[in-house]
A and B are shown apart, each in its own frame.
Chain A
Amino acid sequence: MLPKERGFIPKRALSYFILALSAVMLLAGCTSSSPAKESASSSQSPSDSQSPNAVKDELILAVGKTDVGMFDPKKGWGTHAQIRLTHSSLLTIDSELNFIGDLAKSYTVSDDALTWTFPLRDDVKFSNGEQVTAEDVKFTYEMLKEDGIKFDLSFVESIGIAEGNTIVITLHEPRSTFVSQLTEIGIVPKAHYDDNYSQNPIGSGPYKVVQYNDGQQIIMEYNPYWYGTVPQFKKLTLLLLAEDAALAAAKAGQADIVYVPPTFAEQKVEGMTLRAFESIDSRGIMLPAVPSGAKGKTNDKDVEVGNDVTSDLAIRQALNIGLDRQKLLDVAIGGYGQKAYCLCDNMPWFNEETIVNDGDIEGAKKILTDGGWSDSDQDGIVEKNGRKAEFNMFFSSSDQLRTDLSLAVADQASELGIKINLIGATWDEIYVKGKTAAVAWGGGRHHPHQLYTMNSSKVIDTSYHNMSNYRNPKVDEYLDKALTATTQEEANKYWKLAQWDGQTGFSGIGDAPIVWLVRVDHLYLANEKLNLGKQPVHSHGHEWALFGNITEWTWDN
Chain B
Amino acid sequence: MAKSIVIRLVRMATLLIGLSVLTFSLIHLSPMDPVNAYIGGDTSASPEQIEKFKQYWGVDKSPVEQYLSWAGSLLQGNFGTSLLYRSPVLDIIQSRFLTSLALMGAAWLLSGAIGYSLGVIAAVHRGKLIDRIIKWYSYTLVSTPIFWMGLILLIVFAVWLKWFPVGLAVPAGVLESEVRFIDRVHHFILPALTLSILGIANVAMHTREKMIDILNSEYIVFAKARGESKWQIFKNHGFRNSILPAISLQFAYFGELFGGSMLAEQVFAYPGLGSTLTTAGLKGDLPLMVGIILVSSLFVFAGNLIADILNKVVDPRMKGAV
Contacts and interface: CB of A to CB of B under 8 A. Distances in A.
A254 B44 contact: no
Nearest to B185: A31
Please indicate which of the listed interface residues B36, B166, B284 has the most CB atoms of chain A within 10 Å of its own CB: B166
B176 A217 contact: no
A43 B271 contact: no
Nearest to A461: B47
A396 to B, nearest CB: 11
A75 interface: yes
B159 A426 contact: no
Contact of A10 (B50, B276, B313): B313
A253 B162 contact: yes
Contact of A249 (B166, B189, B282): B166
Given A252-B159, A299-B35, A149 B44 contact: yes
Which secondary structure dominates where chain A touches chain B?
A: mixed
Interface in B135-192: 154-155, 158-159, 162-170, 172-173, 175-176, 182-183, 185-186, 189, 192
A219 B179 CA distance: 13
A21 B50 CA distance: 55
A462 B46 contact: yes
A48 interface: no
A426 B281 CA distance: 11
A451 interface: no
Interface string B219-258: 0000000000000000000011001000000000000000
A245 B167 contact: yes
Nearest to B272: A215
B45 interface: yes
B50 to A, nearest CB: 4
A24 interface: yes
Given A25-B113, A36-B163, A211-B175, A217 B33 contact: no
Interface residues of B, number: 65
Contact of A6 (B31, B40, B44, B316): B316
B240 A148 contact: no
A428 B36 contact: yes
A264 to B, nearest CB: 14
B173 A251 contact: no
A21 B46 contact: no
B43 A149 contact: yes
B169 A36 contact: no
Contacts of A300: 35, 47, 50-51, 54
A28 B106 contact: yes
Interface string B268-285: 110100011001001010
Given A245-B166, A252-B158, A254-B165, A215 B276 contact: yes
A251 B159 CA distance: 6
Contacts of A217: 168, 170, 172-173
Task: Sort chain A's interface into a size bin.
Answer: 35 or more
Nearest to A35: B186
Interface string B18-47: 000000000000111101100111111111
Contact of A216 (B39, B154, B155, B269): B269
B42 A76 contact: yes
B86 interface: yes
A54 interface: no
A242 B166 CA distance: 12
A98 interface: no
A24 B276 contact: no
A237 interface: yes
Contact of A299 (B50, B172, B313): B50
B201 to A, nearest CB: 18
A171 interface: no
B282 A426 contact: yes
Nearest to A220: B173
Contacts of B36: 299, 428, 431
B164 A241 contact: no
Interface string A222-238: 00000000000001010
A1 interface: no
B173 A36 contact: no
Interface in B56-97: 85-86
Contacts of A158: none
Contacts of B167: 239, 241, 245, 248-249
Nearest to A24: B109
A213 B174 CA distance: 11
Nearest to B85: A214
Interface in A1-45: 6, 10-11, 14, 18, 21-22, 24-25, 28, 31-32, 34-36, 39-40, 43-44
B50 A60 contact: no
A245 B269 contact: yes
A36 B49 CA distance: 54
A464 B243 CA distance: 59
A14 B169 contact: no
A194 interface: no
A31 B186 contact: yes
B314 interface: yes
Interface in A106-132: none
Contact of B169 (A75, A80, A216, A426): A216
Contacts of A427: 41
Contacts of B294: none
Nearest to B182: A35
Contacts of B176: 211, 213
B110 interface: yes
Contact of A237 (B33, B44, B109, B172): B172
A217 B165 CA distance: 14
B49 A148 contact: yes
A44 B162 CA distance: 8
A60 B173 contact: yes
The 3 closest A-B pairs by CB, nearest first: A152-B44, A237-B173, A215-B271
24 contacts: A10-B314, A24-B106, A24-B110, A24-B113, A28-B189, A35-B185, A36-B164, A68-B40, A149-B44, A150-B44, A213-B168, A213-B169, A213-B271, A216-B271, A239-B167, A241-B168, A252-B159, A255-B172, A297-B47, A299-B35, A300-B50, A427-B41, A428-B31, A463-B44
Given A28-B106, A44-B162, 20 more contacts: A24-B110, A25-B110, A32-B163, A35-B182, A35-B185, A213-B169, A237-B172, A239-B167, A242-B269, A245-B267, A252-B162, A255-B172, A300-B47, A426-B31, A426-B282, A428-B31, A431-B31, A431-B33, A462-B46, A463-B43
Interface of B: 30-33, 35-36, 39-47, 49-51, 54, 85-86, 106, 109-110, 112-114, 154-155, 158-159, 162-170, 172-173, 175-176, 182-183, 185-186, 189, 192, 239-240, 243, 267-269, 271, 275-276, 279, 282, 284, 313-314, 316
Interface of A: 6, 10-11, 14, 18, 21-22, 24-25, 28, 31-32, 34-36, 39-40, 43-44, 58, 60, 68, 75-76, 79-80, 148-152, 154, 195, 198, 210-211, 213-217, 219, 235, 237, 239-242, 245, 248-249, 251-255, 297, 299-301, 398, 426-429, 431-432, 461-463
